[in-house]
Amino acid sequence: MTIARKCCSDSSPCPDSRWTWLVVCITIGASYLVPALVRLAEPNPQTVWPVWPGCAILTTGLLLVRMRVWPVLMLTCFAAFAASDLQAGVSVKSVAWFVPGNTLEIVIAALGLRYCFDGVPRLNNLSALAKYSFFAILLAPFTSAFLSAHGIGPDYWISWRIAFLSEALAFATITPVLLSWINEGPALAQTSAVFQLEGMILITGLVIVTYVTFTYPVNHSSPALLYSLVPFFLWSALRFGWLGVTTSMIIVSFLSSWAALRGRGPFSELIPFTNPLALQLFLISAATPFMILTAVVEDRKLAGEELARLSGRLIEAQEEERKRIARDVHDDYSQRLAMLAIDIEELEEKVGDTSQETKQQLDVLYERISELGADLHSLSHQLHSSTLETLGLVAGTKAFCEEFAETEHVQVDFTHENVPRNISGDVALCLFRIVQEGLRNIKKHSSANKANVRLECSGGNLHLTVSDQGKGFELGIRTEGGGIGVWSMQERLRLLGGRFRIQSYPMQGTRIDAWLPSR
């Protein structure tokens, strides 16, 4: 069970109460410790109000536990908020306005997201992103700012703008990155070492470029430096999805705010507490397009995965239908034809002195029925090879090649080397179907009278080759009604993690290569 599935609702029992307590403790601890760390890093903690993520952290915690836990968690976190604000020198009057504003904001965001999503929100498509943005980034901060603005400064609308943009920025960066790590973090540990190394290179490069961009001396800095971040955002969105783009945004948000508070970089002349608009708009504007891009990419990825599942189910259904038809042909139609042939043979014996012409007609009829029975037997074997199922890949492929050569009058040379006997049924069936389709294409398109089939195993991988010296064709030029057989071969291999390659040149023949793990 992944962490993302541990979110529980009131209508079902929570799978692990220890998980609930863990979430509660971490959320409460972060509500107090994060501002404490800010006070240690910044002499004037009030200047970091525009980037304080308390409500975003608390909302994430609420989404991970039952609603019956919400009152206790909210009250405890609000107490931690108030304690941190008072220690930072915030007046009691301001805290009195912040508490109802934060309460309204968190309730709107948490209830809206709980209503729209089943469990932990996954922002992997445009619809999910739109729902999240409406409740968490727009509606909740917009509404709560009318109360929180009273506790910020004398100018109400400037204070409202600061409150709205600060909370919108937190929900655009903090909550998505927490949700991404909860949903996708455990799966990251199961990825390849190369993929993890790529992620570390991305983060390292982004930290260096962001640091240089936002700490460059103000007299020499150029707004063009900000564009140096775009390749990293694209890299993170296209390769690492929400986990990458949200983590990248957190890095940029932290370093840009840190540099601005210390009077460095393109926002060095701003005082974030009184005039954070440029910094806030930059961070929100930087996050928005790449969040949308990531949602589109993830949506397409999910659509591709769903299409792959449907393709797999279609191939499975096709094989089941092949098996059923082959069974019917073998057990029913072939038997009935055999009985009909016996009846004709007996009838021929009974007619006795009938004219020679009648006997010849019965002989011809008997031969036709026998040929039809043989054809049905061959069709049954092509639909579902009992030899492949009982004796394995090598024996099944060899039997089919011999049968194909006999019926289609094409010489087929089959060779094999180091092929293990304990090959899984899916792998054996995949390669067998590729041999079938390859030989049929040779008969249908190449005009060749000889084909070569080779099957070998090396380094735990099976390599199948089907080739001919026929007329070939020009790759990239699709013929009308063609391409289904090639697509079928490619799809079968892709579903099993294999590779496919086809080489062909006019009047120089065609070669099909398929590689597949011998698992």
Residues 454, 419 share a domain: yes
Nearest alpha-carbon partner for 62 in 167, 136, 134, 143:
136
What is the average pLDDT across 476-503? 75
195 and 182 housed in the same domain: no
Q: What is the per-residue pLDDT for 336?
A: 73
Both 457 and 347 in a single domain? Answer: no
Same-domain status, 357 and 411: no
The predicted pLDDT at position 234 comes to: 93
Higher pLDDT, 357 or 75: 75
Domain membership of residue 283 (yes or no) is no
d(CA 139, CA 123): 18
SS3 469: coil
- Within a domain: residue 302? no
Shared domain check, 147 and 35:
yes
Q: Which of 188, 219, 248 is the last residue of a domain?
A: 188
Domain boundary among 384, 412, 447: 384
Is 286 inside a domain boundary? no
According to the model, what pLDDT value does residue 42 have? 55
Q: What is the pLDDT of residue 11?
A: 43
DSSP letter string, 270-302: --TTT--HHHHHHHHHHHHHHHHHHHHHHHHHH
Q: Which DSSP category does 413 fall into?
A: E
Q: What is the pLDDT of residue 519?
A: 66
Last-in-domain residue among 154, 188, 222:
188
Residue 230 in any domain: the answer is yes
* Domain match, 375 and 414 both: no
Better-predicted residue by pLDDT, 141 or 472? 141
Q: Which span out of 102-116, 176-190, 496-510 was modeled with the highest average pLDDT?
A: 102-116
> Which DSSP symbol is given to 503?
E
How would residue 2 be classed by pLDDT, with cut points 50, 70 and 90? Answer: very low
What is the model's pLDDT at position 10? 47
Is there a single domain that holds both residue 389 and residue 487?
yes
Spatial distance between the Cα atoms of 98 and 76, rounded to a whole number of angstroms? 15
pLDDT value of residue 35: 67
- In angstroms, the CA 408 to CA 448 distance is 11
Residues 24, 71 within the same domain: yes
Q: pLDDT digits over 345-374, tens only? A: 777 676 665 667 777 777 777 777 777 777
* DSSP of 182-232: HHHHHHHTTS-HHHHHHHHHHHHHHHHHHHHHHHS-TTT--GGGGGGGHHH
pLDDT for 201-245, tens place per residue? 999 999 999 998 888 765 555 667 788 899 999 999 999 988 999
Question: How far is residue 376's CA from residue 130's CA, in Å, rounded to a whole number?
Answer: 58
- In the chain, the percentage of residues whose pLDDT exceeds 70 is 81
Does position 43 have pLDDT exceeding 80, yes or no? no
Q: What pLDDT, on the 0 to 100 scale, is given for residue 198?
A: 93
Joined tokens for residue 517: 């793990």
Question: For position 104, what pLDDT does the model report?
Answer: 92
In a domain, 514, yes or no: yes
Higher pLDDT, 502 or 312: 502
**Exposure b/e, 203-226, CB count within 10 A at least 16 = b:** beebbebbbebbbbeeeebeeebb
Q: 119 in the Ramachandran plot: left (φ > 0), alpha (ψ -120 to 50) or beta?
A: left
Alpha helices in 329-355 (DSSP H): 334-351
Give the pair of three-digit tokens for residue 370. 């026998």
Mean pLDDT of 438-467: 88
Mean pLDDT is lowest, of 106-110, 206-210, 331-335, for 331-335
Angle, helices 156-188/140-148, rounded to nearest 10 degrees: 140
- Residue 27 falls inside a structural domain: yes
* Average pLDDT score over residue span 491-509: 85
* Statement: residue 186 has pLDDT above 60: yes
Is 66 in the same domain as 155? yes
Altogether, the residues listed in the chain come to a count of 519
Q: What is the mean pLDDT of residues 239-256?
A: 89
Is the pLDDT reported for residue 50 higher than 60? no
Helix (H) / strand (E) element for 436: namely helix 425-441
281 has pLDDT over 70: yes
* CATH number of the structural domain spanning residue 501: 3.30.565.10
Domain that holds residue 373: 307-384
pLDDT at 292 over 70: yes
Unique residue bearing structure tokens 């049905």:
376
Are 314 and 392 within one domain? no
Task: Decide which of 59 and 391 is more confident.
Answer: 59
Those residues with Cβ within 8 angstroms of residue 45's Cβ, 6 or more apart along the chain or in another chain: 35, 38, 39, 88, 89
Within a domain: residue 298?
A: no
Residue 367: CA atoms inside 13 Å, Cβ hemisphere, count?
Answer: 6
pTM confidence score: 0.67
Q: How far apart are CA 166 and CA 52, in angstroms?
A: 7
The number of distinct structural domains making up the chain is 4
Question: Alpha-carbon distance 413 to 435, whole Å?
Answer: 12
465 and 398 fall within a common domain: yes
In a domain, 296, yes or no: no
Residue 355 neighbours by CB distance under 10 Å? 9
Give dist(CA 317, CA 324) in Å, integer: 10
Give helix then strand counts, H and E, for the chain: 16, 5
pLDDT at 334 over 80: no
Mean pLDDT of all residues belonging to the chain = 80
Give the pLDDT of residue 44: 53
- My answer on whether 397 and 377 are in the same domain is no
- Summarize pLDDT for 118-148 with one digit per residue, the tens: 878 888 888 889 999 999 999 999 999 999 8
Q: How confident is the model at residue 48 (pLDDT cuts 50, 70, 90)?
A: low
